[in-house]
Structure 1
Amino acid sequence: MNKTSKEVILSALRAKAEELLAERNFAGQRIPPDSEMAVLINELEIHEIEVDMQNDELRESYRAIDIERSRFTGFFDAAPIGYFILDALGMVSEVNNTGINLLHTHRDAILGKHFSFWILPEVKEHFYTFILGLENLDHTGSYETLIRLSDEKIMQAQLGGIAMKNPQTDAAEYYITLTDITASKNAAQILKETTERLNQTLKASFTGTWTIWPDKKKVYFDEFSKNILALNANDFDGTLDGLLKLVISEDREKIKTVCEKSNTLREIDMEFRLKSDHGLPKTILAKGREISKPGEDCYFTGILFDISERKRAHEIEEANKRSQQRLLTQAVLDAQEKERSKISAALHDSICQLLYGIRFNINHLKKADEAQLKAEMGNVTKLLDQAIREIRDISYELTPSVLKDFGFTAGIKEMSQRLSNSVFKINNQIHRNADKLPGDVQLYAFRIIQELINNSIKYSGATQASISVCTEDGKVNITVCDNGKGIDLKNEKHLRAGSGLRGIKNRVAMLNGTFSAYNNNGACFSISFDPAEFKEE
């Protein structure tokens, strides 16, 4: 406050005091104004009134200051960051509640202690440099440091500050802010590590990332994507039109459709092909999803893969499947033709020859007398009976009609009777539930038993064979044994392919069953399967 302002205030106070004194004298007893006593009393009263008025002004000022201090103190203590006031030597003279909480201690343990006490020794030099940098008044600064808390934990902190003069002592003070950035630093470190791992994963998996802004017609590819797409700096200008130029014409509509439907589309999963200098186009698989934020244009981001080799491998695999299917169909047709050839040969070599003989005998009947006619008719009858048996055997081998007409049990018994003779007998024991098996299962089981019996007749030298079919507990167990010379269990080649066993094993496999061979006074074969697991392809 300058001299002129002070004089104005004092003059105003005196005028106010004289006015109050005049009102007081007017109401009370007057003293002669010319007396010395009156003058002295008048001056004293004026000074008394001035003092009272000054005291009132001071009290009002103190009250206003207290209000402002309380407001400041509330803001100071409730601030979300830590505040410290350091004296010129760096001693803490004041701290708010947040600062106390950040240091995990109490106020008395902080006040009067040098702030560097909480700074880790290896970074204290940086703190001193920071304080020196604040010595220029009104100069602010900040830096990151490490704080050791009272429980020995380490806090990563952000320190800010400014140097100011104390209005009472005119000495320098430092107003320091303390912010705990441990969580953000850890998050940043995790993000950095995650980003690095992602980059390594993308690199190892030959995957790149992309972003497209449909409204702005902008496209971004990271370095991995550029390598996958084999893009050079001059090949791509970062625009949608630039991308479309790289895509073969047949696939450009896919990308255009995505951009046109960007307002309704939420995810992208599409393939497109790029032009290639090597002739074959490069096939790219792009996957992504929409990212939208309030007040911002939505965009799509995701990853892409080069699936050219996978695509070509799939095409080769499909071609191989088609080729295998053709070969399988050809094999079936060849098998049918071979089977027809066998039937044709069987008819030609047996039935036809018998019919030729019958015709020859009939031609002789025209010239024969009665005695010769009788003998020739006997020969014709024998030949006809033999032809009928041959046709019946061929028909039975092709499709056992008795199996379809009368069931599994009747089929096995009929086969046993037909193949039995004076030197080879077949016994059978069939469970009553065998006829309830599905028709396809009955046929497979019949063919297995038929092949095993034929093997016994042809190769074992046996005089007797037995067939057992048991259907209990949901399982079918078939056992075929003979009293022949047995089977060589050590000869793997014989077990694997000999004596028609390959066809038997194939049929057992179709039934999802098990097959085993062993010797027990002859050869024995055991087959077991669950009819419920059979599914014809």
Structure 2
Amino acid sequence: MDHNQLPSGHQVLQQLRARAEKRQHLATQSVGDTMPPDAQRLVQEPQVHQIELEMQYEELLMTQATAEIAHHQYIDLYDFAPVGYFTLTAEGLIHQLNLQAAQLLGTVRQRLQDRRFALFVTVECRPGFQEFLGKTMGSDSRETCELELLREDGSRFFARLEGLAMLSAAGTKYCRLAVIDTTESRETIRALEASEARFRLLFEQSRDAILLIQNKHIIDCNEATVQLFNLPSKSELLGQHVSIFDPPTQPNGQSSVEVADVHLVEAMRRGWNRFEWLLIGPNGQEMWVEVSLTSFSLNGQSILHCIVRDITVQRGAREQLRREKEFSESLLDNSVDGIMAFDAQRRLTAWNKVMELNTRKMEAEVLGKDVFELFPHHREGPEGEAVCKVLAGERVTYYKLKLYGRLGHFESYFVPLLNTEGEVEGGLVLVRDVTERVRLAEEATQLKLRQQQEVHSAILTTQEEERKRIAEALHNGVGQLLYATKLNLENRTGGTFSREAALALLEEAIKATRTVSFELTPGILQDFGLKSALEEIIKRIPRSGLHVHLYMKGSFEELPQQLEVSVYRIVQELLNNIIKHAQAQEAFVHVVHEEGHVFISAEDDGVGFEPTQTNARHSGIGLTSIRNRVDLLAGTLSIDSRPDRGTIVSIELQVK
């Protein structure tokens, strides 16, 4: 039977009284009124005695019931208590324990009876336990300590021990010991201590200035706050009003005190607030700070956690950025090119004055609109293709796009806009009016055509002059020698024929023919290359008139044939000019092939001339032919000459 279902002592007493009264009433009714008083007394006396015995028996039953209730209460309070209870002898043996005590030590009660409690105390804590047990047994007051205990399986836990010395009925002294597991609370306390230590460390070591404010006064601050305001110690701030470094007014002209009160009230209402604030440091210098306020309650009092960051540099940078943005907007508006930009969703984000002027669409009416909504007829054309390519990260240049819808020539440059991670976040379009440039290019093309015609005419003239010179050379040289040989042969009948004279004339004719042939197409150039051909030219120059030095560097075997012939003719013409016009005693010719270029330099110590007057006064010295060859090869020619100071001709040709 559950002890919770047993009747209370009062209920048992009431039941006994009811039964006794009932029985006494029955006994009174069983004796007639006719019986003599003595007989009635003799009959009623045993009945009353019986009732008294029955009531005593019932009182015993009530006492037993009360004892059972007390026993069950003892079981409730002892065996099922959430605290471990031990009864220890003076020697520290476990005499008695409850269920919770057995669970704390991780075994059953039967295994713990008569064992030393010290076996379940860690070796490090056993001296402390012995000291605690001795103090408890020798004292009439409650003793406490905290030790680390061992379970049966060897695992450890922390517990608080509360001991009280008691005397048994036999006069034996023993210890009533209560054991409470404090591992969780100890860990909680340790965690709180660690959290408080971390908070304190964070508070003290934070790079940001941190203040605690109560009733508008500073109650604590960290070292960073002291450094921020360049103070000797935090005592200079503690107890001060929060407006200690506030100027009378903020830049907007409002009172600092009034505006600060508004921010404080807002922080208390919302739980937090953030704003920028102008301070005046102890040195009188202005300082912009960002203030973050967080409201919390401690012991029923409202406290503000305040973080102050110096943003003077950042604010200056932001102001600089604002000015740069204004400059960029001004630059866009004053650009000669039409500029527009759009984001990844093709929404227009920029539209400058040139675009407004040429499209008749104002910035306010186009920003935020889709590019294809603004230019619907360009969706399927090259313009739409260019927008898609730009959003795919590709740079695109288109010519002759009709974004403006008016006559003219335009170039459109589509450039992707990337964020810091390299992702495309939009595109930029520059529309440049190149109508004037196209006109100038057409004029330049016409001029180049005229120049090419002049070069062609000069080449033809040169060719005709060369033919004339060759014809004169053949007529005056080979022709005369052959005619003299003919006359010598015709005089054979007259007896004056000389075989040796005829052979000599023929030999001279052969030499003249070879000279003309060499000037026309030098076979040595084709057979032995440029270096040998130029060396042969130098050998043919008479030493008595001019001493020529030739310097060649680089490999000339891989030069294109046309370029090889051109270099040969240019050097040949330069030497001819020096021989005919320079009146020089010594000349230096350099031919260098390196890094894809051929460099030709001819220097003499002759009479020189004024290069600016070449076309007018020196048209017959062969420079025109050299210029034509250099122009045809897309090379460069420069002449450095002064009268009586010699001449230096430098030519650079590109090997293609």
Contact 1:149 1:155 in 2 (8 A): yes
The answer to whether structure 1 residue 199 and structure 2 residue 357 are counterparts is: no
2:383 maps to 252
Shift of 1:287: 1.4
**Which residue in the other structure is 1:210 paired with?**
341
Name the amino acid aligned to 2:278. L
Equivalent position of 2:257 in the other structure: 128
Q: How does 1:397-416 map to 2 (within 5 A)?
A: 398=520, 407-408=533-534, 410-412=536-538, 414=540, 416=542
**How far off is 1:83 after superposition?**
2.7
Which residues in structure 2 correspond to 1:62-101 (within 5 Å)?
A: 81-86=210-215, 92=217, 94-97=219-222, 100-101=225-226
* Contact 1:83-1:176 within 8 A present in 2 as well: yes
Write the mapping of 1:101-140 to structure 2, written as runs, cut at 5 A.
101=226, 103=229, 105=231, 106-123=233-250, 126-130=255-259
Q: Residue 288 of structure 1: CA displacement?
A: 2.0
1:146 to 250, 254, 278: 278
Residue pair 1:219, 1:239 contacting (<8 A) in 2 also: yes
**Structure 2 contact 335–354 (Cα < 8 Å) conserved:** no
**Is the Cα–Cα contact under 8 Å of residues 514 and 527 in structure 1 kept in the other structure?**
yes
- Partner residue, 1:283: 411
Within 1, Cα distance between the matches of 2:219 and 2:351?
A: 52
CA contact (8 A) 2:393 2:424 kept: no
Q: Secondary structure at the match of 1:147?
A: strand
- 1:285 maps to a residue whose letter is Y
CA change 1:243–1:98 in 2 (3 A) is farther
Local SS of the residue matching 1:118: coil
Q: Unaligned regions of 5+ residues in structure 1, if any? A: 1-22, 24-66, 358-367, 376-380, 418-425, 482-486
Q: Per the alignment, do residues 478 and 356 of structure 1 end up closer, same or farther by CA in structure 2, a change over 3 Å counting?
A: closer
Shift of 1:85: 1.2
Query: Which of 356, 361, 367 is the matching residue for 1:227?
Result: 356
Residue by residue over 1:257-299, the C-alpha shift from the partner in whole angstroms, topping out at 9 and shown as x without a partner, is 438xx5xx34544447234343236433221234599xxxx86
1:115 is paired with a residue whose SS is coil
- The 3-state SS of whatever aligns with 2:243 is helix
The Cα shift of 1:336 comes to 4.0
The aligned amino acid for 2:247 is L
1:238 Cα deviation after fit: 0.9
| Structure 2 partner of 1:337 | 460
2:425 aligned with 1:300: yes
Is the contact between residue 218 and residue 240 of structure 1 (CA under 8 Å) also seen in structure 2? yes
Residues 508-536 of structure 1, C-alpha deviations (whole Å, 9 max, x = no match): 998978654665xxxx856587x9x7657
Partner of 1:53: none
Secondary structure (helix, strand or coil) at the match of 1:210 reads: strand
Give the C-alpha shift of residue 323 in structure 1: 4.0
1:156 pairs with 2:284: no
Q: In the TM superposition, what is the alpha-carbon distance from 1:136 to its structure 2 partner?
A: 12
Matches within 5 A, 1:518-533: 525=646, 527=648
Separation of aligned partners in 2, 1:348 and 1:477: 29
Q: 2:579 aligns with which of 453, 458, 470?
A: 453
How many residues align? The count is 420
Name the SS for the 1:334 alignment partner: helix
Task: List aligned pairs for 1:487-506, cutoff 5 A.
Answer: 493=613, 497-498=617-618, 500-501=620-621, 503=623
Which structure: greater helix fraction? 1
Q: Tell me the SS of whatever aligns to 2:255.
A: helix
Q: For residue 238 of structure 1, what is the aligned residue in structure 2?
A: 369
Tell me, yes or no, if the aligned pair for 2:586 and 2:605 is still in contact at 8 Å. yes
Whose Rg is larger?
A: 2
Q: 1:497 to 1:159 in 2, by over 3 A?
A: same
Closer, same or farther in 2 for the Cα pair 1:300/1:496, shift >3 Å?
A: same
* Deviation, structure 1 residue 115: 3.5
Q: Secondary structure at the match of 1:333?
A: helix
Displacement, 1:307?
A: 2.0
Q: Distance in 1 between matches of 2:601 and 2:366?
A: 71
**Residue segments in structure 2 that go unaligned for 5+ positions in a row:** 1-69, 71-188, 481-489, 498-502, 557-563, 594-599
Identity %: 12
Q: In the aligned structure 1, how far is the partner of 2:636 from the partner of 2:295?
A: 93
Partner of 1:274: 402
Q: Report the secondary structure of 2:408's partner residue.
A: coil
- Inter-partner Cα distance in structure 2 for 1:191 and 1:156: 17
Structure 2 Cα separation of the partners of residues 407 and 137 of structure 1: 96
- Match of 2:78? none
SS of 1:279's equivalent in the other structure is coil
Code of the residue aligned with 1:449 in structure 2: it is L
- Contact preservation (8 Å) 1:477, 1:528: yes
The 8 Å contact of residues 495 and 501 in structure 1, kept in 2 or not, is answered as no
Cα distance, 1:251 vs structure 2: 1.5
- Check conservation: 1:146, 1:154, Cα contact below 8 A: yes
3-state DSSP of counterpart to 2:244:
helix
| Cα distance, 1:335–1:248 mapped onto 2, change above 3 Å | farther
Cα contact 2:245–2:281 (8 A) shared by 1: yes
8 Å CA contact 2:552, 2:591 repeated in 1: no
2: distance between equivalents of 1:257 and 1:411?
Answer: 64
Distance, in Å, in 1 between the alignment partners of 2:612 and 2:296 is: 101
Superposed CA deviations along residues 327-346 of structure 1, whole A, max 9, x for unmatched, are 45433432343345446667
Aligned pair in 2 of structure 1 residues 326, 387: CA closer, same or farther (>3 Å)?
farther
**Matching residue of 1:444:** 570
The answer as to whether partners of 2:589 and 2:602 remain within 8 angstroms in 1 is: yes
C-alpha displacement of 1:389: 9.5
TM-score, normalised with respect to structure 1: 0.53
Distance 1:466 1:103 in 2: 86
1:278 alignment partner, SS class = coil
**Does the C-alpha gap of structure 1 residues 442 and 345 become closer, same or farther in structure 2, counting only changes over 3 Å?**
closer
What root-mean-square deviation, in Å, do the aligned CA atoms of Structure 1 and Structure 2 show?
A: 6.5
Q: Is the CA contact (8 Å cut-off) linking 1:517 and 1:526 kept in structure 2? A: yes
More off after superposition, 389-398 vs 276-285: 389-398
2:580 maps to a residue whose letter is: N
Assess if the C-alpha contact under 8 Å between 1:210 and 1:301 holds in 2.
yes
